[in-house]
Amino acid sequence: MAKSLKFSDAIADYNKIINDIEARRFAPIYLLAGDEGYFIDAIAEKLANSILGEAERTFNQIVVYGQDSDTGKIVMLCRQMPMMGSYQVVIVREAQQLTKIDNLVHYTANPQATTILIICYKNKEQGKGVDKRTAFYKSCQKSGVVFESVRPREYEIDSWLASYVRSIGLNMEPKAMAMLKEYVGMDISRMVGELDKLTVSMPQGETLVRDSHIEQYIGISKEFNSFELNDAVMRRDVGRAMRIADHFGHNPKNYPITQTISILFGLFQQLFLLNYHIWLSRNRGIPMPADTELMRAVRANNPYALRELKSCIAMWKGPQLFRVLGLLREYDAKSKGLNSGGLDNGELLKELLLKIFM
């Protein structure tokens, strides 16, 4: 079985393609595919604005859409010669809606040097990507550039997000970043859209994004969110945790219990790993790792997160943490309808929290 591409690998490929475009090293074919639309659109937009000058685009840049076109028409367009220029650019958007896309092999197997074909194929359903076994896919690999756009998992996005925030002239506090991720999820296109709102909304001269900015300009409560629930649970603040759980229960669409349990599970995994390293240090004489190494070991995203874990670890013993991880697995199953006892998701979350605090 082929090894799935990591988000970090996709980012490296993306950066290489952007650098090549800026150096005007163009390929005759770009097959841009995957389940994260942002990078597909960003590469296509960069190519559309870089290959031809503004005046040339009127005659030599053609955009077609998969739903309204067919492979025969696209092959014919690609075979045309450019008018008064070096290149003709053909952009196929929403190529996943193109019937018999594999027939494009009649062109991609022998592309013209004067045509640059850009195929934007967004996988909107699991398992609906371009078939890598086909002659079409292999010819794109051989003659041009194939880019696979991967949607990140939560633990993979922080470094990219911090880098993007810096690229638009801002910095973001860890709590504000956690709130943004919870609100948007792992949809980078939406995340970039929300960050673009921030760039025009931030007060003049302010570049540090705080939780108050997220609440004011994006509309996320800085009191009722998973970051605050994690903090309340970690500090054994029963009252605050139950108030947040009650708010979640009254807003199930905004705070799905499966996501809440997943975030709590990540927190207790970190506490468990930190507890294990402390145990090794005390009982085996193994020195505690330096903070940079410890961050990687416990999967903490930043020094602030590690500092918060350290400040609360004394409240949680190893057996307690092991028990809580088991509870979270149990209630994850209940939230999906297995032996839930007829409780709704809000009641399940409150019951789970009470058992955690026992």
For 221-245, what is each residue's pLDDT tens digit? 767 888 889 999 999 999 999 999 9
- In angstroms, the CA 259 to CA 332 distance is 9
Average pLDDT over residues 190-219: 85
- In angstroms, the CA 36 to CA 150 distance is 6
How confident is the model at residue 355, as a pLDDT? 94
Give the residue from 133, 73, 131, 145 showing the smallest Cα distance to 107. Answer: 73
Q: How confident is the model at residue 22 (pLDDT cuts 50, 70, 90)?
A: very high
- In angstroms, the CA 299 to CA 341 distance is 34
* End-to-end CA, the chain: 45
* Helix 226-234 × helix 238-250 angle, to 10°: 150
Q: How confident is the model at residue 277 (pLDDT cuts 50, 70, 90)?
A: very high
Helix (H, G, I), strand (E, B) or coil at 149: strand
Q: What is the mean pLDDT of the chain?
A: 88
Average pLDDT over residues 277-300: 89
Q: Is the pLDDT of residue 112 over 50?
A: yes
Q: How confident is the model at residue 111 (pLDDT cuts 50, 70, 90)?
A: very high
Distances (CA, A) of 50 to 25, 44, 79, 192: 11, 10, 21, 22
Average pLDDT over residues 15-40: 95
All domains of the chain in start order, with CATH: 7-149 (3.40.50.300), 154-218 (1.10.8), 226-357 (1.20.272.10)
Q: How confident is the model at residue 1 (pLDDT cuts 50, 70, 90)?
A: very low
Q: How confident is the model at residue 352 (pLDDT cuts 50, 70, 90)?
A: very high
Q: Where is pLDDT greater, at 13 or 160? A: 13
Q: How confident is the model at residue 204 (pLDDT cuts 50, 70, 90)?
A: confident
Average pLDDT over residues 170-178: 86
Q: Is the pLDDT of residue 209 over 60?
A: yes
Q: How confident is the model at residue 3 (pLDDT cuts 50, 70, 90)?
A: low
State the sign of the Cα–Cα–Cα–Cα dihedral 170, 171, 175, 177.
positive
Q: How confident is the model at residue 271 (pLDDT cuts 50, 70, 90)?
A: very high
**What is the percent of the chain where pLDDT is above 70?**
96
Average pLDDT over residues 279-289: 89
Average pLDDT over residues 116-124: 90
Helix and strand numbers (H, E) in the chain are: 17, 7
- Identify the residue whose tokens are 């605090």: 357
Give tens-digit pLDDT for 143-159. 999 999 988 877 788 88
Q: How confident is the model at residue 292 (pLDDT cuts 50, 70, 90)?
A: confident
Report which listed range, 45-49, 51-55, 295-299, is most confident.
45-49
Average pLDDT over residues 128-156: 88
- In angstroms, the CA 1 to CA 18 distance is 30
Opening angle at CA 184, ends 183 and 186, nearest 5: 130
How confident is the model at residue 2, as a pLDDT? 46
Average pLDDT over residues 160-172: 88
Q: How confident is the model at residue 205 (pLDDT cuts 50, 70, 90)?
A: confident
- Beta strands, E only, 139-196: 145-149, 171-172
